[in-house]
Amino acid sequence: CIKTFEGHTEEVMSVSFSSDGQYIVSGSADETIKLWSVESGECVETFEGHIWQSQVVNSVAFTPDGRYVVSSAWKSPIKLWDLESSECIKTFHGPTWDDINCVVISPNNKNIVSVSNSENIRLWDVETGECRLFEGHTSGVDCAVFSPDGKYIVSASWDKTVKLWDVESGKCIKTYEGHTDCVNSVSISPDGKYIVSGASDKTVKLWGVESGTCIKTFEEH
């Protein structure tokens, strides 16, 4: 262990590096978001504001340019924080709120994706705050990521599937089936050619994005 960052008073639910590697952001059940200096190990800023029906901040992520942090809390609006002013500059309100499991922001900073215990994926326009629903999963969604070029979203669901979505049209263009239990986590390779998923069936699967087939299953957990 190179360094320990101490300051939260409850469980830490989510952590993320800035793109330049100089900072870490963390979200906690203590109702706060903290910004840490990697070099010094010190907390340089604390953000408070997720006070809704629940204060557990369960997902945090930097924007690609490192200027902002996006955060979500269970049954709470999504918030966008300006690191320079240390203020929440935008709040994204949905018509109803489930427990949000994950938020991510697109490579061009223009869209935020949120997934929750409902089967719908929400795509938010950062500028206008407008929301589009991506419908296709039949159970809750645990995780989603943008492709490196920002044109696609990959999602992992309790319905045992991984889905590939076209951002512009909002349509599901491919479904990856093979897991036998809830899919909990998903990532896409830097070249956009492969998807990796982890599930409650104790396996990790590697998929070809274009072929839609499982290339390899990793079974050691």
pLDDT computed for residue 71 by the predictor: 92
Distances (CA, A) of 62 to 95, 108, 162: 25, 12, 24
Low-confidence residues of the chain: pLDDT under 50: none
What type of residue sits at position 189? Answer: S
Nearest to 109 by CA among 140, 68, 71, 144: 68
Enter the tokens of residue 136: 């296709």
Give 95's contacts (C-beta < 8 A, 6+ positions apart): none
Residue type, 213: T
How much is the CA Rg of the chain, to the nearest whole Å?
Answer: 17
Structure confidence at residue 54 (pLDDT) = 56
Q: Give the span between the Cα atoms of 192 and 140, in whole angstroms.
A: 25
State residue 73's pLDDT score.
82
- pTM of this prediction? 0.88
Q: Which residues pair with 103 in a beta bridge?
A: 114
- Residue 95: the pLDDT is 57
Token pair listed for 9: 């008073």
In tens, the pLDDT along 46-98 reads: 998 765 555 788 899 998 888 899 998 877 789 999 998 889 999 987 655 66
Residue type, 211: S
